[in-house]
Homo-oligomer: A and B are copies of this chain.
Amino acid sequence: MKNVYRVSLLLDLYGQLLTQRQYEILDLYYNNDYSLGEISEDLKISRQGVYDNIKRGVALLNKYEKKMLLLNRYLKQKENLETLLNTIDGIDTANMSDDNKNKIKYIRELVVEMLNDV
């Protein structure tokens, strides 16, 4: 996994545990593609300050992931739900009763909903 994507996912999972300022800086850098210089200008802090905040913030996110493994769990769940969806879509419902068709349709909808929420 690319580091930028990984940090972006960690930020989703643990961002609430950072300070507001830390979150803001990491969000600009990793989710909105700002440069150090742009963040420095926008937030009126030194380039070095931005850099230090990013470094410290990423270290904190990694520390939380090491303890809680939410990214691990998230990726596994997403993979399982995608496998479920693919398997459901491989079922041939042509000759099924309406009741079975409806149940499979309902299962599919719920899996899609879970994929969106995960």
Contacts and interface: CB of A to CB of B under 8 A. Distances in A.
Interface of A: 14, 16-17, 64, 67-68, 70, 73, 76-77, 80, 83-84, 87-88, 90-92, 95-97, 99-100, 103-104, 106-107, 110-111, 113-114, 117
B114 A68 contact: no
Contact of A87 (B87, B106, B117): B106
The interface residues of chain A, by DSSP majority, are classed as: helix
A100 B106 contact: no
Q: How many copies does the complex hold?
A: 2
B91 A100 contact: yes
Contacts of A87: 103, 106-107, 110
Contact of A97 (B77, B92, B110, B111): B92
B114 A77 contact: yes
A68 B107 contact: no
A83 to B, nearest CB: 6
